[in-house]
């Protein structure tokens, strides 16, 4: 079998694909090749649409994965099929699964503050405060460098985000104070390009799973909704900003959404209608006696 990883690496390098996307494609495609070899004893360059269809059914029925996750596997396989094997892709043979979009839980602000105050660990508290205060993805917070925080302009620089984009978002006054407290107790010397939140391994930033697990522990300790996750804090940033009267176009830029419609159509559904000044016709004077 030819070295497909080398071929994929070459394409990713030429396109300058973010490391997180590379890892995701490699991991999912590796799982597919292992399935094909175990079930059909077939070299990966000889895969057929039938092999791909069998694998999708396996993911759906045996692994019980969600439609969105299965679509991610399909994307990885399609990438290999078209860019490495240089074959035509027939989307009628391999349709993408229809996703069901469930609205996320948006806890009230007091619960969000309780989560942020739910840990005495300054590092963890600063990370969670940045996610909520600046609307960051968990992976974005983990990858911040010291130089990405600017107290003069009160901005956070986010580089190599989703889809390889870069942007600026706001820096909260409270988050800055937490960062200063954390910095004083954690750094004796540093360089601007050092990780803001270093991990356990030398030269590595904090692991994304560590951040997610931290919030889960706090959530469970506070006995909050089990659907609350670290990513919920980003949703809360957008929703609470909208409720505070921030223009959707500004929220779009801070979140890094490509389209304004993504921001407005999604988060308008999550706002507290009373905070937006919307009243039910049933609440008009004399509606009920």
Closest residue by Cα to residue 27 from 7, 5, 46, 54: 5
Please state whether beta strands 155-158 and 149-150 pair in parallel, antiparallel, or not at all (unpaired): antiparallel
Contact 145, 187 (CB under 8 A): no
Please state whether beta strands 149-150 and 167-170 pair in parallel, antiparallel, or not at all (unpaired): unpaired
124 part of the active site: no
Contact 138, 208 (CB under 8 A): yes
The secondary structure of 21-37 as a DSSP string is HHHHHHHHHHHHHHHHH
The DSSP letter of residue 171 is -
Contact 166, 160 (CB under 8 A): yes
Distance (Å, whole) CA 120 – CA 123: 9
78 part of the active site: no
- Which one of the listed residues 22, 109, 231, 253 is annotated catalytic? 231
257 part of the active site: yes
Contact 136, 255 (CB under 8 A): no
Question: Which residue do the tokens 């590796």 mark?
Answer: 30
231 part of the active site: yes
- Which one of the listed residues 28, 205, 219, 257 is annotated catalytic? 257
| 3-state SS, residue 263 | helix
205 part of the active site: no
- Which one of the listed residues 205, 219, 234, 240 is annotated catalytic? 234
Distance (Å, whole) CA 83 – CA 66: 26
- Which one of the listed residues 78, 145, 162, 167 is annotated catalytic? 162
- What number of helices (H) and strands (E) belong to the chain? 12, 3
93 part of the active site: no
| 3-state SS, residue 136 | coil
- Which one of the listed residues 28, 124, 125, 137 is annotated catalytic? 137
Active-site annotation, residues: 137, 162, 231, 234, 257, 267
């Amino acid at each position: 079998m030819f070295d497909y990883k080398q071929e994929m690496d070459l394409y990713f390098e030429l396109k300058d694909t973010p490391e997180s996307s590379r890892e995701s494609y490699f991991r999912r495609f590796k799982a597919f090749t292992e399935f094909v070899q175990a079930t059909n004893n077939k070299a990966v360059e000889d895969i057929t649409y039938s092999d791909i269809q069998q694998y999708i059914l396996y993911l759906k029925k045996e692994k019980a994965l969600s439609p969105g996750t299965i679509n991610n596997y399909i994307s990885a396989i399609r990438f290999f099929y078209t860019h490495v094997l240089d074959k035509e892709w027939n989307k009628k043979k391999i349709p993408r699964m229809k996703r069901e979009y469930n609205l996320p839980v948006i806890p009230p602000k007091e619960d969000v503050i309780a989560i942020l105050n739910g840990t005495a660990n300054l590092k963890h508290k600063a990370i969670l405060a940045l996610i909520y205060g600046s609307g960051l993805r968990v992976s974005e917070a983990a990858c911040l460098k010291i130089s990405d925080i600017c107290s003069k302009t009160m901005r956070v620089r986010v580089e190599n985000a989703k889809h390889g984009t870069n942007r600026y978002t706001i820096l909260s006054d409270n988050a800055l104070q937490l960062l200063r407290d954390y910095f004083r107790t954690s750094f004796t010397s540093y360089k601007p390009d050092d990780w803001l939140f270093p991990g356990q391994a030398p030269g590595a930033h904090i692991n994304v799973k560590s951040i997610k697990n931290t919030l889960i522990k706090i959530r469970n300790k506070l006995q909050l909704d089990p659907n609350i996750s670290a990513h919920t804090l980003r949703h809360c940033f957008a929703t609470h900003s909208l409720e505070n009267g921030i223009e959707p176009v500004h929220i779009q830029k801070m979140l890094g959404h490509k389209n304004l419609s993504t921001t407005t159509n999604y988060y308008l559904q999550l706002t507290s209608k009373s905070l937006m000044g919307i009243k039910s016709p049933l609440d008009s004077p004399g509606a009920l006696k």
